[in-house]
Amino acid sequence: MRISLLTLSLVITLSTTSSCSWIDRKLAQSNGEYYQTFNCNKELAVISTKQIIQEMRYSGVIVNEDGNHTEIWFKISKDQRARVRFTQHYFWDTIISYYVTPNGNEELSDQFYTKLHKKIFGTKMEDS
């Protein structure tokens, strides 16, 4: 009985720490960057982003981390680079910001961002 309680406790802990939820569902834009705030473990969001980059076979991946935020740069196409930044303000509150170099393919950018949202938050999408 003691082992099953311990197992149940572990499952509950993992399920609560690995899920993400919105704090501010409105897609905001500032200086060419799109951003949203959500309640999520930054590491989970970063892992999801890396998985999508790998699945979509994007190249030129560069990861910068400094403790407060993680930036992932990658090439969407020959002429277009993108950056996804995750900033952890509190233990759970994370801001995701997304930037694509000018003169890039907007359709490819939207495709990546949509896929990222679905990966992190499931099938519920926010209308922007």
Of 46, 32, 94, nearest to 74 by C-alpha is: 46
Task: Give the sign of the dihedral formed by CA 45, CA 50, CA 53, CA 58.
Answer: positive
The tokens 């509190």 sit on which residue? 90
Residue type, 51: Q
Domain boundaries defined on the chain:
20-121
Beta-carbon neighbour count of residue 39 at 10 Å? 14
Residues near 31 by beta carbon (within 8 Å), at least 6 away in sequence: none
pLDDT one-digit tens code per residue, 24-53: 555 566 666 666 666 777 777 788 888 888
Rounded to whole angstroms, the Cα distance separating 47 from 64 reads 14
Instruction: Give the residue ranges of the chain where pLDDT is below 70.
Output: 1-38, 88-110, 113, 121-128
Contact assessment for residue 38 and residue 20, using Cβ atoms and an 8 Å cutoff: yes
Rounded to whole angstroms, the Cα distance separating 78 from 101 reads 11
Assess if CATH 3.30.160.110 describes domain 20-121: yes
Residue type, 95: I
**Percent of the chain clearing pLDDT 70 (strictly above):** 44
Rounded to whole angstroms, the Cα distance separating 46 from 71 reads 9
